[in-house]
Amino acid sequence: MNKSTKVSLRIICLFGIAMLLGFIPEYGRVFFGDWFCEGCRITGYSTEGLHMPIYSGCEYDCMDHVHCPQWHWGYRHWLWLFMGIALWIIQAVNIFKIIDNEE
């Protein structure tokens, strides 16, 4: 097998596996610790100060803007992302090593 074919197959595998692994978080939300937020809604106003709105829902974006119901990533989901990025970088470096090696 020549170098060009070897590099091409490795690139196809790299991106193919990355695409397939992208489906796992959508179907394994419990595994990743994801949680569903019903969105930030104004439930009333504070009687102190400047009548600041009181929000219900998550604490991520409530003060800047009101967001719609959505899934928020859990801790394991972030680890999955960083693991994927690290493995992608390692494989990309290996591909460049294959290209630089003499046949």
pLDDT per residue over 27-64, tens digit each?
788 888 888 877 666 666 666 656 666 656 666 655 55
Q: Under DSSP, is residue 23 helix (H, G, I), strand (E, B) or coil?
A: coil
Shared domain for 29 and 8, answered yes or no, is yes
Co-location of 57 and 83 in the same domain: no
What's the rounded Cα separation, in Å, for the pair 78 and 44? Answer: 34
Tell me the helices (H) and strands (E) count for the chain, helix number first: 4, 4
Q: What is the CA radius of gyration of the chain?
A: 22
Same structural domain for residues 63 and 89? no
| Domain with 53 in it | 35-72
Residues 43 and 29 in one domain: no
Same structural domain, 44 and 67: yes
Question: pTM of the entire structure?
Answer: 0.61
The domain tally of the chain equals 2
